[in-house]
Amino acid sequence: MIISVRSLSYDDLKGALSKEDRVVLWSCDSCIKACGLGGAEKMSHLRKILDEDGYNVTATELISVSCHPGLIQERRLNEDKRDALEDATAVVVLACEDGYRCVKSVFDDKTVVGTAETVGAGGMTKNGALLTTPFASTGLQNKPEGHTLKEVAEKLGLYPTFFEPDRKPQPRDQVEITVDGKKCTAEEGENLLDACEKNGFKIPHLCYRKGLSAPGACRLCLVKIEGARGLVPACREAVSAGMEVITDDEELRYLRRANLEFLLSAHEHNCLLCGETRIARGTCELQTLVRDFGIEEVSYPVNKETLPIDDSHPVIVKDPNKCVLCGRCVRACSELAGKHNLGFGQRGKETVIAAGLNQPWDESACAGCLACVVACPTGALTEKILHFEGKDWKPKKIYL
């Protein structure tokens, strides 16, 4: 993992921009996030404080990895993003120096502002990132126990935290809504599912993931909204003043359970017995929902056909038998990696997630960034973690 420390003060950052600039915030979602200097949340914080200070932030772009110029070029040419990116006059990069150089090479017609100094390589512990292999310029030595980022920043006269960590931006456009009879506040235009969850109402969902677009495909987050025709997927609805929402009643529970059972009937998911370590860690969202709903058997005929597992890729294993076709991997590949390497192949009940032209994963244009694996809510896409033993060095899969 590449270790970086913030090199710019907030005043320096503002000094590098003009209030006439149309600013794009660009963040890598990998090492820099682990260093506390990037990722969706940090980008959102920076956007809010720059907005408050009168700067014109026109877009935020999160990318799975920034040290890959091909991915940056594809993002710039993406038809959904192109106009906003072309219109920008300045790009603020939350990435390591490698990522900064790659972004600068692609946006060479704009002001590109780097925010981090890369100090070497290191690892991640539960207490945060550690620098184990510093560059000589830091004056530090290789150390298996690692140097904390605070220690490194202090030594180099840099900044140990993200921009303005103590500043709380004023909430904007707060409106009152009623959820299950309780008065709540939310931001006008905010995603309804997010707003309900922030107010403590849990709405089951599979296809929605914060940071990705919402297709409303799984139908598990259906809610009732006063005045709306029929049931509405909460992930597709924006908050408006005075909205009255019902997130939980007998009818919604019945419909959600039926939808969940339909999803389970597409393959033999076997959630009660699947991967004991997953249950302990609660990483399979489908399995968690099955437990929450207390589903012990499926009421509909289950498709027992077993599809072949694709383990051709060096890092990713695809098990289509555990896929619910939520499309999160497809959107992660398109929206986070910018690769468009994944899509839906075939039609009807034959539909599968296809890499490239529905070819073995390793033969497709996959960049191996793992955005799809992180997004997958089931065990359909997992990392290849293997234990080899015995004379024949036979591999056995380990689940994290």
Partner 1 sequence: MVLTESLPYEAITEQLSKDDTISIVSCNNCVRVAGTGGEVKMKELASRLREEGYRVEDGFLITKACPQPYMGAVKLGPRVDTVVVLACYAGWSNAKRRFPGLKVVATTEDIGLLITDTEKGVVKVAKAFDKYKDRLGKEFEIGTGKPMPSEQIQVEV
Q: Residue 280, interface with partner 1 (CB under 8 A)?
A: no
Beta carbon nearer to partner 1, 155 or 313: 313
Selected binder of partner 1 within 5, 370, 375, 376 (CB under 8 A): 370
Beta carbon nearer to partner 1, 198 or 397: 397
Q: Residue 314, interface with partner 1 (CB under 8 A)?
A: yes
Selected binder of partner 1 within 49, 266, 367, 380 (CB under 8 A): 367
Q: Residue 359, interface with partner 1 (CB under 8 A)?
A: no
Q: Residue 233, interface with partner 1 (CB under 8 A)?
A: no
Amino acid residing at 343: G
Measured distance CA(209)–CA(215) in Å, rounded: 10
Per-residue binding string, partner 1, 82-111, x by CB under 8 A, is --------------xxx--xx--x------
Q: Residue 204, interface with partner 1 (CB under 8 A)?
A: no
| Cβ pair 87, 27 in contact under 8 A | no
Q: Residue 320, interface with partner 1 (CB under 8 A)?
A: no
- Residue 123 C-beta: closest distance to partner 1, Å: 4
Residues 45-74 that bind partner 1 (CB under 8 A): 65, 67-70
Selected binder of partner 1 within 228, 241, 258, 365 (CB under 8 A): 365
Q: How far is CA 253 from the centre of its chain?
A: 28
Greatest alpha-carbon pair distance for the chain in Å reads: 68
Beta carbon nearer to partner 1, 81 or 384: 384
Q: Residue 309, interface with partner 1 (CB under 8 A)?
A: no
Selected binder of partner 1 within 16, 40, 84, 124 (CB under 8 A): 124
Residues 9-48 that bind partner 1 (CB under 8 A): 34
Selected binder of partner 1 within 189, 242, 282, 395 (CB under 8 A): 395
Q: Residue 126, interface with partner 1 (CB under 8 A)?
A: yes
Selected binder of partner 1 within 231, 315, 352, 374 (CB under 8 A): 315
| CB-count burial class (<10 Å; 0-12, 13-18, 19+) for 390 | exposed
Beta carbon nearer to partner 1, 236 or 384: 384
Classify each residue of 89-126 as buried b or exposed e, where b means 16 or more C-beta atoms within 10 Å of its C-beta.
bbbbbbbbbbbbbbbbebbeebbbbbbbbbbbebeeee
Beta carbon nearer to partner 1, 98 or 197: 98
**How many chain residues are in contact with partner 1, going by CB under 8 A?**
49
Q: Residue 282, interface with partner 1 (CB under 8 A)?
A: no
Q: DSSP letter string over 186-237? A: EETT-BHHHHHHHTT-----SS--TTS-----S-TTEEEETT-SS-EEGGG-
Q: Residue 142, interface with partner 1 (CB under 8 A)?
A: yes
Distances from the Cα of 58 to the Cα of 23, 43, 50, angstroms:
6, 12, 11
Question: Looking at 16-24, 143-151, 236-244, 256-264, which segment touches partner 1 (CB under 8 A)?
Answer: 143-151
| CB-count burial class (<10 Å; 0-12, 13-18, 19+) for 371 | buried
Beta carbon nearer to partner 1, 58 or 111: 111
| CB-count burial class (<10 Å; 0-12, 13-18, 19+) for 388 | exposed
Q: DSSP letter string over 45-100? A: HHHHHHHHTT-EEEEEEEES-SS-HHHHHHHHH-TTTHHHHHH-SEEEEES-HHHH
- Residue 142 C-beta: closest distance to partner 1, Å: 6
Beta carbon nearer to partner 1, 60 or 364: 364
Classify each residue of 316-338 as buried b or exposed e, where b means 16 or more C-beta atoms within 10 Å of its C-beta.
bbbbbbbbbbbbbbbbbbbbbbb
- Residue 105 C-beta: closest distance to partner 1, Å: 4
- Residue 71 C-beta: closest distance to partner 1, Å: 9
Kindly tell me the sign of the dihedral angle through the C-alpha atoms of 97, 103, 105, 109: negative
Residues lying near partner 1 in the complex (CB under 8 A) are found at: 1-2, 34, 65, 67-70, 96-98, 101-102, 105, 118, 120-126, 132-133, 135-136, 142-146, 314-315, 365-368, 370, 383-389, 393, 395, 398, 400
